[in-house]
Copies of this chain bind each other. A is one copy, B any other.
Amino acid sequence: ENLAAQKLYEGKAKILYATDDPEVLLTYFKDDATAFNAQKRGTISGKGEVNCAMSQHLFRLLEAQGVPTHLIDCPTSNTMRVRRVSIVPLEVVVRNIAAGSLCQQTGLELGTPLSPPLVEFYLKNDALGDPLLTEDRLRVMELATPDQVQQLREMALRVNQVLSEFFNQCGITLVDFKLEFGVDGAGKLLLADEISPDTCRLWNQAESDPNRRVMDKDRFRRDLGDVEAAYQQVLQRVLAQSV
A residues lining the B interface (CB < 8 Å): 98, 102, 104-108, 112, 114, 118-120, 123, 125, 128, 131-137, 140-141
Which among B98, B107, B123 is the interface contact of A128 at CB below 8 angstroms? B107
Which among B104, B107, B114, B134 is the interface contact of A120 at CB below 8 angstroms? B134
Q: How far is the CA of A137 from the CA of B133 in the complex (A)?
A: 12
Q: How far is the CA of A118 from the CA of B119 in the complex (A)?
A: 20
Looking at the assembled complex, report how far the CB atom of A88 sits from the nearest CB atom of chain B, in whole angstroms.
Answer: 16
Name the residue on B nearest A127 (C-beta). B107
- Report if A106-B128 is in contact (Cβ < 8 Å); known contacts: A114-B140, A118-B140, A140-B118: yes
Are the CB atoms of B136 and A119 closer together than 8 Å? yes
Are the CB atoms of B135 and A132 closer together than 8 Å? no
Q: How far is the CA of A128 from the CA of B141 in the complex (A)?
A: 26
